[in-house]
């Protein structure tokens, strides 16, 4: 996996670069309103004038956000997008796809038909995201990707041309981080891996990094199965795996939405000898499970940050024409009870002021 120099773009840097590049000062406030659309997805709008100085940035324009499903992670992404639009008059419309490729493509086509000015995608699969982005690009509509799912580093993919910016979390590195943590803190032995959705591209790359780290270490992956980002499905995977392999020493899952369920299952069975590591993060994980005998560590990164930097890059394209930097790397690291506070302070999982507005995507 190629290594690239970090080029994170925080909010202050973005505002400064936008102003310099295009003479645009991004100021003002935001009034929020929510309404339910006619389809299976909802819309959330940002309208009106702000208190104090107001801004006409985004006036009369709508940003579409196409997320893959409705779980805490996707809600957190949506709060990051909302934070990026704070102080503007952009409207925001949100669709969710129930983790179905065709539904996401239909959602994107529907939003494109309404004349959106820009599109932000959290993919069900890399194929769905890239097809949707190609359709938007054909109409001259810029697209931002909140989580690059494919095996190729963005900048080395044929799909690059259809995006204006990408929020990137290096999943190969993430898999290595998990593996390195296990080697340092867990007992080698039979290991269970609960993936997200195979075909999304995300899980497969974590697999590659985890395999590379654990090679020859004594951690033998005896079950590797999809959990579909579902709490109940992940529990079923673990329950079956432990029945077949009662000597399991380690469980790894690729999303806190599943990890919370797995931790609750381990607690219900009084299982404390298994080292459990999850990925990404949500509020339940942080406040209930992390640091207990049922969840040792988390490969932490912020869903809200991915939404924030992707939407800020989209704004930059709309307001200044600039697409630099194209790749916006997001922080990741192994979180434990000892350091989770500092991780959250620097890279919040969620902008909670918007959470109630996106709770029913």
Residue for token digits 């199965």?
A: 225
Q: How many CB atoms lie within 10 A of CB 109?
A: 13
Task: List beta partners, residue 275.
Answer: 250
What DSSP character marks residue 198?
T
For residue 311, what are its two tokens?
Answer: 């939407």
pLDDT of residue 38: 25
Residues contacting residue 142 through CB under 8 Å, at least 6 positions apart: 118, 119, 136, 164, 314, 317, 318
Using a cut of 0.75, tell me whether the model's pTM lies above it: yes
CA–CA separation, 346 vs 302, rounded Å?
A: 10
Domain boundaries, the chain: 11-169+302-332+347-357, 171-300
Which phi and psi (to 5°) does residue 286 adopt? -65, -45
Q: Matching CATH topology for 11-169+302-332+347-357 and 171-300?
A: yes
Going residue by residue through the chain, which has 361 residues, state the pLDDT in tens, using 9 for 90 and above: 333 333 333 333 333 333 333 323 232 222 222 222 223 344 444 433 333 334 689 999 999 999 999 999 999 999 999 999 999 999 999 999 999 999 999 999 999 999 999 999 999 888 888 999 999 999 999 999 998 866 567 777 788 899 999 999 999 999 999 999 999 999 999 999 999 988 878 899 999 999 999 999 999 999 999 999 999 999 999 999 999 999 999 999 999 999 999 999 999 999 999 999 999 999 999 999 999 999 999 999 999 999 999 999 999 999 999 999 999 999 999 999 999 999 999 999 999 999 999 988 8
Contact (CB, 8 A) for 194 and 234? yes
**Fold of the CATH domain 11-169+302-332+347-357:** Rossmann fold (3.40.50)
May I ask the CATH class of domain 171-300? alpha beta
């Amino acid at each position: 996996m190629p290594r690239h120099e970090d080029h994170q773009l925080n909010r202050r840097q973005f505002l400064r670069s936008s102003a310099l590049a295009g003479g645009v000062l991004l100021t003002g406030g935001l009034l929020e309103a929510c309404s339910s659309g006619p389809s299976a997805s909802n819309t959330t709008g940002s309208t009106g004038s702000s208190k104090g100085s107001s801004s006409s940035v985004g006036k009369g324009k709508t940003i579409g956000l196409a997320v893959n499903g409705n779980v805490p992670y996707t809600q957190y992404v949506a709060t990051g997008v909302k934070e990026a639009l704070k102080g503007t008059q952009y409207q925001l419309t949100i669709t969710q796809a129930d983790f179905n490729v065709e539904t996401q493509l239909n959602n994107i086509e529907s939003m494109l038909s309404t004349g959106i000015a820009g599109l932000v995608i959290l993919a069900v699969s890399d194929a769905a995201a890239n097809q949707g982005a190609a359709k938007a690009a054909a109409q001259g509509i810029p697209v931002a990707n909140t989580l690059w799912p494919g095996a190729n580093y963005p900048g080395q993919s044929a799909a690059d041309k259809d995006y204006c910016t990408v929020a990137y979390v290096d999943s190969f590195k993430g898999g290595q981080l998990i593996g390195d943590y296990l080697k340092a803190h867990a007992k080698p032995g039979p290991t269970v891996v609960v993936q997200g959705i195979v075909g999304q591209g995300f899980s497969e790359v974590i697999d590659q990094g985890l395999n590379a780290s654990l090679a020859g270490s004594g951690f033998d992956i005896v079950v590797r199965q999809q959990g579909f980002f579902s709490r109940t499905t992940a529990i079923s995977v673990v329950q079956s795996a432990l029945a077949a392999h009662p000597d399991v020493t380690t469980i790894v899952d690729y999303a806190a939405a599943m990890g919370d369920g797995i931790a609750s299952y381990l607690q219900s069975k009084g299982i404390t000898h298994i080292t459990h590591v999850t990925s990404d993060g949500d509020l339940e994980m942080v406040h209930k499970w992390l640091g207990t005998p049922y969840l040792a560590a988390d490969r932490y990164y912020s869903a809200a940050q991915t939404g924030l930097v992707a939407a800020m890059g989209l704004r930059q394209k709309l307001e200044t024409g600039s697409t630099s930097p194209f790749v916006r790397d997001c922080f990741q690291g192994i979180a434990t009870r000892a350091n989770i506070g500092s991780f959250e302070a620097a890279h919040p999982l969620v902008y909670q002021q918007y959470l109630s507005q996106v709770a029913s995507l």
